[in-house]
Structure 1
Amino acid sequence: MTPNTVSQAGMSRRNFLTSTAVATAAMAGGMPLLTACSGSSGDSGEGTTSGKNAAKLLPTYVASTTARPDLPSKNGSAAGYTGKIDLADLAASVPDKLGTGAPFKVMAPLWGTPPKPDCAYYTELDKAAGTKITWQNQDGNTYGQKLGAVLASSSIPDVVVVPGWELTGKIPNALIAKFMDLGPHLAGDKVKKYPNLAAIPTDSWRMSIFGGALRGIPIPGAPVPGIVPYYRKDIFDKKGYTVPTSAEEFLSWAKEATSAKAKVWACADMRWAAGAIFGLQPAGTLGWNMGSDGKLTYRIEHPEYLEHLEWVRKLFAAGVVHPDDKANTGDPTQRFTAGQILVFNGDMSAWYGKTAEQAKANPEFEIDGMDYFAADGGDPTLYAGQPAGTWSMIRKGASKETVENALAAANFAAAPYGTKERMYVDYGVEGTHYTIKDGVPVKNDRGIQEVNNAWGMLATPAPYLAHPDYPDITRKQVEWQQRQGAFVEKTSTYGMNILEPRRYANISTPFEQLEIDFVRGNKKLSDVQQAISTWKTSGGDKLRDWYKKLLEKNGSGR
Structure 2
Amino acid sequence: MGAYLSRRNLLRAGAGVAAAAGLAGCGDGGPAARAGDNAKVRLPDHVPYKGVAADLPATDKGVLAGYFHYPEHPRPAAPDGPPAKGPSIRVMTITYNPVPPPAGKNPMWRRLNETLGTDLEFEISPATDYAQKFPLTIAGGQLPDGMLVLPTAAAQSQMMPALFEDLSPHLSGPAVRAYPYLANIPAKSWADSVIAGGLYGLPMPRLNSGSAMMYRADIFAKKGVDPHPGSFREFFRLCTDVSDPKHAKYAIGDPLFALYFVLEMVGGANLWREKGGRFTYWVEELDLLHRALDAMRQLVKAGAVHPDGFTIAGNAKTKDWFGTGQTAVNYDGITGWNNYLDQYGATDPDFAIDAMVAPGFDGGPGTHWAGLSSFAMLCLKKAPRQRIEQLLRAFDLMAAPFGTDHYLLRKYGVPGHDFHWKGHDPLLTPEGVLDIGLPTGFTTDAPQSIYYPKNTDAVRKQYAFQQRATAVLVPNSAEGLYSETDVTLGGAAVELLREGPIKGYMRGSTDWGELRDAVRDWRRKVGDKARAEFEKAYEDLHA
8 Å CA contact 2:214–2:329 kept in 1: the answer is yes
CA distance in 1, matches of 2:130, 2:337: 27
- For residues 432 and 8 of structure 1, what CA distance do their matches in structure 2 show? 38
1:197, CA displacement in angstroms? 0.8
Q: Distance in 1 between matches of 2:36 and 2:262?
A: 30
Conserved? CA contact 2:155–2:484, under 8 Å: no
- Identity among equivalent pairs (%): 27
Whether the 8 Å CA contact 1:208–1:214 is kept in 2: the answer is: yes
Q: Measure the CA separation in 2 of the matches of 1:513 and 1:503.
A: 14
Distance (whole Å) between structure 2 residues aligned to residue 138 and residue 349 of structure 1: 21
Aligned residues of 1:196 and 1:411 also touching (Cα < 8 A): yes
* Corresponding residue number in structure 2 for 1:510: 493
Instruction: Call closer, same or farther: CA 1:10–1:205 in 2, change over 3 Å.
Output: farther
Among 55, 58, 78, the residue aligned to 1:70: 55
Residue 363 of structure 2 corresponds to residue 380 of structure 1:
no
Residues in 2 aligned to 1:455 and 1:11: alpha-carbon distance in whole angstroms: 24
Report if the CA contact (8 A) 2:47-2:180 is conserved: yes
CA distance in 1: counterparts of 2:402 and 2:141, whole angstroms: 39
Find the residue that maps to 2:453 and give its secondary structure.
coil
SS at match of 2:515: helix
Structure 1: runs of 5+ lacking an equivalent:
1-6, 18-41
| Alpha-carbon contact 1:47-1:500 (below 8 Å) kept | no
Letter in 2 for 1:511: V
Q: Per the alignment, do residues 503 and 325 of structure 1 end up closer, same or farther by CA in structure 2, a change over 3 Å counting?
A: closer
Shift of residue 176 of structure 1?
4.1
Structure-2 separation of matches of 1:551 and 1:154: 32
Mapped contact 1:289–1:492 kept (Cα < 8 A): yes
How far residue 62 of structure 1 moved from its aligned partner, in angstroms, is 2.2
Q: Specify the alignment match of 2:275 in structure 1.
A: 290
**Residue 416 of structure 2, aligned match among 431, 445, 459:** 431
Assess if the C-alpha contact under 8 Å between 2:481 and 2:534 holds in 1.
Answer: no
Q: What amino acid is aligned across from residue 47 of structure 1 in structure 2? A: A
Residues 1:356 and 2:353 are matched in the alignment: no
CA distance in 2, matches of 1:218, 1:509: 26
AA aligned opposite 1:353: N
Change (3 A) 1:261 1:300: closer
Is 2:165–2:380's contact at 8 Å kept on the other side of the alignment? yes
1:387-426 matches, within 5 Å, as: 387-396=373-382, 398-400=383-385, 402-426=387-411
| Among candidates 130, 137, 143, match of residue 156 of structure 1 | 143
Judged with a 3 Å threshold, the aligned counterparts in structure 2 of structure 1 residues 11 and 98 are, in CA distance, closer, same or farther, namely: farther
Deviating more after overlay: 373-382 vs 535-544: 535-544
Aligned to 1:208: 193
- Aligned equivalents of 1:350 and 1:145: distance in 2? 27
- Tell me which of 327, 338, 353 is aligned to 2:324: 338
1:123 to 81, 106, 110: 110
**What residue identity is the alignment partner of 2:122?**
W
Report the Cα distance in structure 1 between the residues aligned to 2:445 and 2:348, rounded to whole angstroms: 33
Q: Residues 158 and 402 of structure 1 are in contact (CA less than 8 Å); yes or no, is this contact kept in structure 2? A: no
Counterpart amino acid of residue 104 in structure 1: I
- Check if 1:480 corresponds to 2:475: no
| Match in the other structure for 2:261 | 273
User: Secondary structure of 2:416's match?
Assistant: coil
Q: Which residue of 1 aligns with 2:84?
A: 99
Whole-angstrom distance in 1 between the partners of 2:510 and 2:31: 36
Matched residues in 2 for 1:272 and 1:148: separation? 32
SS of structure 2 residue aligned to 1:369:
strand
Q: Which structure has more RCO (C-alpha within 8 Å, separation ≥ 6)?
A: 1
Please give the root-mean-square deviation of Cα atoms over the aligned residues, in Å: 2.9
Distance change in 2, residues 1:548/1:206 (3 Å): closer
Query: 1:301 and 2:284 equivalent?
Result: yes
Distance across 2 between alignment mates of 1:218 and 1:514: 31
Distance 1:324 1:528 in 2: 22
Alignment of 1:217-256 (within 5 A): 217-224=202-209, 226-243=210-227, 244-256=229-241
Change (3 A) 1:246 1:141: farther
Match in the other structure for 1:137: 124
Asked if residue 540 in structure 1 is aligned to residue 527 in structure 2, the reply is yes
Q: Cα gap change, 1:523/1:259 in structure 2, threshold over 3 Å: closer, same or farther?
A: same
Contact in 2 for aligned 1:290/1:492 (Cα 8 Å): no
Q: Does the residue aligned with 1:477 lie in a helix, a strand or coil?
A: helix
How far apart are 1:347 and its partner, in Å?
Answer: 0.9
